[in-house]
Structure 1
Amino acid sequence: MSLHEDQYFRDRTILSARNTDVDLIKKEILQSFPGNLETFRSADSNTVEAGADNHAAYPSEYLNSLDLSGIPLSKLDLKIGCPIILLRNLAPKQGLCNGARMVLTRFLHRVLEARLLFGPHAGEHVFIPRISLTPSSTALPFHFSRRQFPVRLAFAMTINKFQGQSVKYVGLDIRVLVFSHGQLYVALSRATSPNHISALLPQNSTVSNIVNVVYPEVLLQ
């Protein structure tokens, strides 16, 4: 993939309101994306605090099924040339910070090689190792750790995650309507021009107007 194709990913994104819809979009795009699919599986573990009454050992199948915010998937499917986003600060001075987007150029068993898309280090090649990650906050009744590459696919993102960023073209998936304060406004303001926004409405929908959810209580504070 050339640097000209890097510009394609810099200029475009798909936004949706829910994480589940974003994951489905990314899965569908990856299936049609050219290249051989490589699957990387995590090593998950749970630990119990010393002196705790609950010493249950949770099965690996359950730990692998956990999908937590800021944590990579247990089963990570990747292809060379696909866009990915970094989930942790690894080396901010080299451009490897949380939210950095890049294009995957090579994968090995213990390291990924990628090319940065944005910032002063755009175009530079970086290496991403497997690391152990623990969710910052969770309702799980145990301490959870996942050893995996700290990345996710970046074909699509949630509207909330994309706040503060802008691109030339935005594809907006609103088959499931927005539900939080100002979410639609944020989505529609991510493109550099209103002429560069394409919206996917619910199937068989005859309505072209979408309500922007606004909570007056927020504006009064």
Structure 2
Amino acid sequence: MSSKDFFKARTILAPTLDIVEEVNNHLMAIIPGGEKLYLSSNSICMDEGNMESQLDLYGLELLNSINYSGLSPHKLILKVGVLVILPRNIDQSSGLCNGTRLQVKKLENPVIECEVLTGNNVGHITLISRMNMVPTNETVPVRFQRRQFPIIVSFAMTINKSQEQTLSHIGLYLPRPVFTHGQLYVALSRVKSKRGLKVLLMNHVGMSANSTINVVYREVFEKIVF
């Protein structure tokens, strides 16, 4: 936990957000030290064309439960030393961009002190404050605003979130197979060499031992001329 170099070039990848949360929660539980809970404040964006009737339809309990990759959770549980990632650009001039990895140093109420682990400002100490975030995910049925610290616990991350990152050590955790075109390729190509790759498969139904599927939509290649 005391070595920032240990975390900055390694991660665990998983195909879905629920598996990522499972891994992060497990690691959080075994990390020493007290935890601190930060709750978000959620409200419907009335200036975004939402009907007043949606106030009753989408209550606070439902808004609090909305969670997807790229949005800070309603219940953000942190400990000193925990690895986190920024889900969006905050200050590009300071290197605080979508995908930047940080390590928590201090937990206060108005701000969280973090050390930058990746990018051009490695070692820089930054203060992260709460900000308003309006989800742009098309699967969310209503436009709402979440006020929360723009960080996500990131010992593990989804395969899709890892795109454009290159790391020295990756653990690929597949309790169930990948499900979209190219997802397995993305996961395996995030690591610099095969020596830094470990894959854990969990009894995939219909698969022989130590094997998994590689999803490829052949329609993608129909119009390619070789």
TM-score scaled by length of structure 2: 0.89
Given the superposition, is the C-alpha separation of residues 92 and 184 from structure 1 closer, same or farther in structure 2, using an over 3 Å criterion? same
Query: Structure 1 counterpart of 2:98, which letter?
Result: N
Superposed, 1:87-166 pairs within 5 Å as 87-166=87-166
Given the superposition, is the C-alpha separation of residues 130 and 180 from structure 1 closer, same or farther in structure 2, using an over 3 Å criterion? same
Q: Which residue of structure 1 aligns with residue 211 of structure 2? A: 209
Query: Structure 1 counterpart of 2:218, which letter?
Result: P
Secondary structure in 2 aligned to 1:105? strand
In 1: Cα distance, 2:121 partner to 2:91 partner: 12
User: Once structures 1 and 2 are overlaid, which stretch shifts more, 210-219 or 21-30?
Assistant: 210-219
Q: Which of 15, 18, 36 is matched with 1:20 structurally?
A: 18
In 2: Cα distance, 1:78 partner to 1:142 partner: 28
Given the superposition, is the C-alpha separation of residues 130 and 17 from structure 1 closer, same or farther in structure 2, using an over 3 Å criterion? same
Given the superposition, is the C-alpha separation of residues 51 and 18 from structure 1 closer, same or farther in structure 2, using an over 3 Å criterion? closer
Q: Which of 45, 48, 53 is matched with 2:46 structurally?
A: 48
In 1: Cα distance, 2:69 partner to 2:6 partner: 27
**Structure 2: 5+ residue runs without aligned partners?**
none
**Aligned structure 1 segments of 4 or more residues deviating by more than 6 angstroms:** none
CA deviation after TM superposition for structure 1 residue 99, in Å = 1.2
CA deviation after TM superposition for structure 1 residue 48, in Å = 3.5
RMSD of aligned alpha carbons: 2.0
Given the superposition, is the C-alpha separation of residues 119 and 211 from structure 1 closer, same or farther in structure 2, using an over 3 Å criterion? same
CA deviation after TM superposition for structure 1 residue 115, in Å = 0.4
- 1:172 equivalent to 2:172? Answer yes
CA deviation after TM superposition for structure 1 residue 100, in Å = 0.8
Aligned residues: 219
In 1: Cα distance, 2:125 partner to 2:44 partner: 34
User: Once structures 1 and 2 are overlaid, which stretch shifts more, 140-149 or 9-18?
Assistant: 140-149
Q: Percent identity?
A: 37
In 1: Cα distance, 2:139 partner to 2:54 partner: 17
Given the superposition, is the C-alpha separation of residues 141 and 203 from structure 1 closer, same or farther in structure 2, using an over 3 Å criterion? closer
TM-score scaled by length of structure 1: 0.91
